Structure 1
Amino acid sequence: MQKESVITKIAFFFNKVLALATFLAYILPFLTPKLFPFLSVLTLLMPLFLILNFAFFTVWILQLKRKAVLSGIVLLIGFTFINKFYKFSETDLPESPSDFKLMSYNVRLFNLYEWLPVKDIPEQITDVIQDYNPDILCLQEYSPNSKVRLRNFPYRYVKVYGERNKYGQAIFSKYEIINSGEIDFPNTSNNVIYTDLVRQKDTIRVYSMHLQSIKISTDIHEKFDENKSKFIFKRISQAFSEQQLQAEIIREHFAQCPYSKIICGDMNNSAFSYVYRTIKGEMKDAFEEAGTGFGKSYNFDFYPARIDYVLTDKDFTIKTYRTDTKVKLSDHFPVYTRISLEK
């Protein structure tokens, strides 16, 4: 029997640690973040865990080692998670008269504070919206701006806060809005707004959400030390706990909705989280139904983060879904989908 090298032993040790962390990440979506707020951070790393397990599996298989069984079991158990992370084929079903188009976009206040060194961000975002020409448009981190020309929408519901620089959310629609409202969250400016739209003979409720931010985009580029790492993990844990409450409030509101519903927007969490699972329930994830690739919706250099979603009731058919990663006018990418409602 050939003696194993030290490198092989070390590699398999890390393989076992990775397998344990991945199993924990599998379980966490079923546990409330308030119980294990620090561990909940692992759900953000699930895509990385899956990639590393696949890498270990491949290495051991090529070496004809039985050690491949460990990562093989991990990947087999997590098979249902893979579809949330990466889609190999895209769906683009034919158009029909029952179709309508929806766009969701976190516009980051139209670059109000000049995060990007570009002067005509509002005009460029307007052009993108006009090119896609959605029937329903949901904007998060919205700020009233005279340079944003959304004349194709005769109906709108805008909810903003602040005195000098206003911010909030907005839903624009080509269909009549017969009712609108807000789901307010305690101790935060984040919220959900909704509208009831009349389309042909159907009334559809559309929710636009913006959940608690984890706010790590600026820190990740700075020099890390132990104190910085602890601070970031603590902040993420606190945000996840707040998101748990927000998700549960949304579910309670869903239970009172008499119409077919769509919820879209910025969840600020991954598809492997308790928060996502709570809000989604039995609804369809448009990315899983018709998307392709990673579905990256947040402009983050080191990670294909999908934190913006379109979720629909089961009586909707998702015909097209895409995130336009070429549009770098915000820290998020616009999400576009073509949907049909056939009853």
Structure 2
Amino acid sequence: MTLRTRVGQLVAYFFRSLLWSLNILLVLYTCLAYWLLYSLPVEHWTAGMIMITLPVAIFLNLIVVILWLTTSPWRSWLSGIVVILGLLLFGHRTFVWNSEQDVPAGFMPVKVFSYNAHTFGLEDYWTRYRSSPRARRIINYVLRYDAPIKCFQEFATASEIPDYDILLRFKMTGYPYSALLNSNEARAKDGYIGIATFSRYPIIASGSQAFYGANGVVWANIKIGNDTIRVINVHLQSMGIRVGRVLRQNELKKVRQETRGVLSALRNGFIERNEQVRVVEKFIQESPYPVIVTGDHNDTPYSVVYERLRRILPNSFEDAGRGFGFTYNRLPGFIRIDNQFHDPKLPVQNFETINYIGYSDHYPIVGTYLVKK
């Protein structure tokens, strides 16, 4: 055996040993994330950071499996088992393929449409004071979409321009009932309502609780025939994801500054949302009627917020959605942070992410629920 061959073998052995050591650390990290999400033993923001990286950890384990299969196949079993376990435990949170259910006798389908409309583009100064084609398109879309209950986050209105007097236009198009977060802004020249729920059915009671800025919760008890349901419209603290701003920087110093900003916003978001979700839980538990929770939760399916709500109410995407259901229309793009949860007394017939509507930085979501006639 030549010296060159022996050196080559030593180098190969070193890298295999290094990869195996990193493989073990990755497996331990992934199992920690599994345990944190499955058991929720702690809800500290550091646990939240680990939990949201779970899809990345599973993907890295899959890459490791492929690498070992090409070099030392027997070593692929460790990450292989971890990947299979993750798919069994949490795979349905990311990808599902359900078929639309038939409407049984004695029930009627009721659609609940939800959309973070990003103020309909009215945050732009010039758009606010003149009729903009883009703003008209998104406003006309949400007015014309056929759903008796419509919920919005980042909802804005402008009473001085007829095209932008959206509250009045909803009433004129058959939605006489509404519940608003900042109702004092309803007739303002530049009214930022924040969260708004509109209904063709009577709203017999409603309430709200504001968080920081435009974030908050609005609930509405809606009478449909002889039954009443409670729709809870939420907008929780932002995730602070600004991947695009990081990628646009061409200097290392600025990249570091933007990255620190993202991490700080993520940390603060975890802390705020963990407190805010308890308010949502209170409105669920106090409801005398079956509940649907909808809105911009600003958290992924691998989070404390999602898991806490999921332990109270089934998730509509998991029960009746198809595909990945990604709802964020910006980088990184492959996340689902808008959700609907439903009471088992209100079975979900169908759930859709309308990912061809790109007016906002979110896609609309709509769930169809079965209500007794």
Q: What is the TM-score when the length of structure 2 is the normalising length?
A: 0.82
Letter in 1 for 2:25: V
Shift of 1:158: 2.2
For 1:40-189, list aligned pairs within 5 A: 40-61=48-69, 65-78=73-86, 79-87=88-96, 89-95=97-103, 97-114=107-124, 119-130=132-143, 132-145=145-158, 146-147=162-163, 148=166, 149-150=169-170, 151-160=173-182, 164-185=190-211, 187-189=212-214
| Residue 255 (structure 1) aligns with | 285
Structure 2 unmatched runs, 5+: 1-8
Relative contact order, CA 8 A, sep 6+: which one is greater? Answer: 1
Distance 1:62 1:202 in 2: 61
Shift of 1:93: 1.7
| Residue 5 (structure 2) aligns with | none
For 1:19-38, list aligned pairs within 5 A: 19-29=27-37, 30-33=40-43, 35=44, 37-38=45-46
Q: How many residue pairs are counted as aligned between the two chains?
A: 338
| Residue 261 (structure 2) aligns with | 231
Which residue, 14, 18, 23 being the options, matches 1:15?
A: 23
Deviations 1:101-159 (A, max 9, x none): 111100000111249x9932332223433554011100000011442443132222222
Distance 1:106 1:242 in 2: 19
Shift of 1:10: 4.1
| Residue 205 (structure 1) aligns with | 230
Native 8 Å contact 1:32 1:274 kept in 2: no
Shift of 1:302: 2.9
| Residue 312 (structure 2) aligns with | 282
Which residue, 310, 324, 333 being the options, matches 2:340?
A: 310
* Stretch moving more, 245-254 or 201-210: 245-254
Distance 1:62 1:291 in 2: 36
Native 8 Å contact 1:271 1:277 kept in 2: yes
| Residue 6 (structure 2) aligns with | none
Native 8 Å contact 2:178 2:203 kept in 1: yes
Q: Which has the higher helix share?
A: 2
| Residue 329 (structure 1) aligns with | 359
* Stretch moving more, 16-25 or 98-107: 16-25
Letter in 2 for 1:237: R
Deviations 1:301-332 (A, max 9, x none): 33411000010011121111111111110000
Q: What is the TM-score when the length of structure 1 is the normalising length?
A: 0.88
Structure 1 unmatched runs, 5+: none
Letter in 2 for 1:341: V
Distance 1:204 1:62, change over 3 A: farther
Native 8 Å contact 2:227 2:372 kept in 1: no
Distance 1:114 1:156 in 2: 26
